[in-house]
Structure 1
């Protein structure tokens, strides 16, 4: 079981929408983030004069499901941010209009060098591309290997801490996805998922999908069949359905169906059920435990009741 972590957050100006700093216990990294509207205050902070990594984040007008992200490095982040705030021009280091929030990572002991942050930039661009939760403005990452082996190990650890703290601050683009169920099933017994398999069927349309809950995400398993197009009202999960088609997660199959080409993690059973059905759906009722027909809602309630009973039995007597 993964151990808990302590993250210290500080509201610089006392408001939730202003500047915010974050630190992890026993990590030398320091995070500073804020909206673009607070840029004049942010660039005056001492952290901005240090060597570090920064992220520019904004909405993608063509895809509401994934943000636009630019990952950069500098030995004077404030100067680079001022450049990015200018009217947009062609060429590297110029102004960028898309971003609405900025996040920069520096070191409390100021031991990050230019070589370190160039290597970090390379790692983070690759990680963001692999995770696929955003559209990178950078394009292809440039591999940077001119760093001693021990420093590369330190920067790998530094990267993992960045990936831990950013989702806490609302930046999900580096958050790793849960291990696909098919990979877990090929692993050791101790890493097998704990939930049963669930089935969703719509016989008149030939739809049959299987799912499983892993690490808080609901996976629809590879080979599951879904409707070939969205037939529900606009909005809801229509954009997600289309995105999965565009990403070839949902591929054409025989008849008026699509097939999941790989396991895919959804945020909830209802999101998974909607994409499978091509319309809004209550996944808590439509997903049924394979072999018993118990609904997901019934199964979850059973788990909660069992956990509460166990907690009561383990509590000290008054």
Structure 2
């Protein structure tokens, strides 16, 4: 069973859109995040005078459906952020809207540690492919003693736990349905039954599965060959998947998924498969039973074990 964690969040100025700090119990790391509009306040914080790694996050100027991220390190983060805040033509970066800084409460994070973390974080972000990296050529930095590398591996693990809680998904591991499940991770990965979506009239047939809360359409699924719905909705996502070769021509009138792909919801997946708006909660049905996604989800809720106290109240 996966071990629970205690995460402490603090709203620095008492508002949900201001500066926010995050800490995990028994972890020496410290996370500070905030919008670019609060940069003047953020750089005055003591954390910005420490050594650390940081993320600049915003929409990709070339594709608003994607997130662009720059990963950096410094022993004077405040000065680096002032530089990044300049216009692009003056060496700054225009795309970012939020910043996230990761430092150490005990101030034992050195410049070498930060360079190593930056190198590892760039590799992780590249592998997960959940964002567009604004960094140039990725470099590998391994000039650390073995014991320090072990410490930084734990530090990285905590960063990857905290950031998704704060809304930064680009470091979260993508567990595809087709990927083999390691014995050590069986308990930590939740998988739904297989779902199917078929439209016989247009010879559309797709398979899906929910893994750790993300709805995947599986490799080889067949979709409509063109978008026939309105200009709004998921038309942009449909086009993006074609441009990224996630959807490829199958030699006929359809498109085929070249790999498993994670969608934000069953309805987003159904819309791309059907080429128009669709209710994924009723369009996807459990393979072999015909039970809709909505009915299956309701069944999970009704069959869940209630806490002892709740049972006693009935």
Verify same fold: TM over 0.5: yes
Structure 2 CA distance, aligned partners of 1:97 and 1:215? 34
Match of 2:139 among 134, 139, 142: 142
In structure 1, stretches of 5+ residues that fail to align are none
Task: Please say if residues 181 and 193 of structure 1, whose CA atoms lie closer than 8 Å, have aligned partners that are also in contact.
Answer: no
Structure 2 CA distance, aligned partners of 1:303 and 1:69? 37
Task: Please say if residues 7 and 24 of structure 2, whose CA atoms lie closer than 8 Å, have aligned partners that are also in contact.
Answer: yes
Give the alignment's Cα RMSD to 1 decimal: 2.1
Task: Please say if residues 184 and 193 of structure 1, whose CA atoms lie closer than 8 Å, have aligned partners that are also in contact.
Answer: no
SS at match of 1:182: coil
Structure 2 CA distance, aligned partners of 1:188 and 1:16? 37
Q: Return closer, same or farther for 1:85/1:7 CA change in 2, 3 Å cut-off.
A: same
Match of 2:130 among 127, 130, 133: 133
What are the equivalent positions in structure 2 for 1:52-201 lying under 5 Å apart? Answer: 52-89=52-89, 94-177=91-174, 179-184=175-180, 190=186, 194-201=191-198
Q: CA deviation at 1:3?
A: 1.8
Identify the residue that residue 207 of structure 1 maps to in structure 2: 204
Q: CA deviation at 1:183?
A: 2.1
- Superposed CA offset, 1:145-192 (max 9, x none): 111111112112111111111111121221222x22122478699568
Q: CA deviation at 1:95?
A: 1.5
Task: Please say if residues 59 and 98 of structure 1, whose CA atoms lie closer than 8 Å, have aligned partners that are also in contact.
Answer: yes
Structure 2 CA distance, aligned partners of 1:306 and 1:136? 43
Q: CA deviation at 1:109?
A: 0.5
Q: Return closer, same or farther for 1:317/1:44 CA change in 2, 3 Å cut-off.
A: closer
Task: Please say if residues 234 and 271 of structure 2, whose CA atoms lie closer than 8 Å, have aligned partners that are also in contact.
Answer: yes
SS at match of 1:89: helix
Identify the residue that residue 312 of structure 2 maps to in structure 1: 317
Identify the residue that residue 42 of structure 1 maps to in structure 2: 42
Structure 1 CA distance, aligned partners of 2:184 and 2:149? 29
Q: Return closer, same or farther for 1:87/1:263 CA change in 2, 3 Å cut-off.
A: closer
Structure 1 CA distance, aligned partners of 2:83 and 2:160? 26
Q: CA deviation at 1:206?
A: 1.3
Structure 2 CA distance, aligned partners of 1:110 and 1:137? 28
Task: Please say if residues 227 and 258 of structure 1, whose CA atoms lie closer than 8 Å, have aligned partners that are also in contact.
Answer: yes
Q: CA deviation at 1:65?
A: 1.8
Task: Please say if residues 234 and 268 of structure 2, whose CA atoms lie closer than 8 Å, have aligned partners that are also in contact.
Answer: yes
Identify the residue that residue 219 of structure 2 maps to in structure 1: 222
Task: Please say if residues 59 and 95 of structure 2, whose CA atoms lie closer than 8 Å, have aligned partners that are also in contact.
Answer: yes
- Superposed CA offset, 1:239-271 (max 9, x none): 222222222221110311111112222222111
Structure 1 CA distance, aligned partners of 2:120 and 2:241? 26
Structure 1 CA distance, aligned partners of 2:185 and 2:172? 25
Task: Please say if residues 56 and 69 of structure 1, whose CA atoms lie closer than 8 Å, have aligned partners that are also in contact.
Answer: yes
Task: Give the stretch that moved more between structures: 147-156 or 47-56.
Answer: 147-156
Number of aligned residue pairs:
312
Match of 2:291 among 294, 302, 305: 294
SS at match of 2:220: coil
Task: Please say if residues 199 and 209 of structure 1, whose CA atoms lie closer than 8 Å, have aligned partners that are also in contact.
Answer: yes
TM-score normalized with structure 2 length:
0.93
Q: Aligned pair 1:255/2:257, yes or no?
A: no
TM-score normalized with structure 1 length:
0.92
Structure 1 CA distance, aligned partners of 2:21 and 2:46? 12
Structure 2 CA distance, aligned partners of 1:205 and 1:247? 24
SS at match of 1:38: helix
SS at match of 2:88: coil
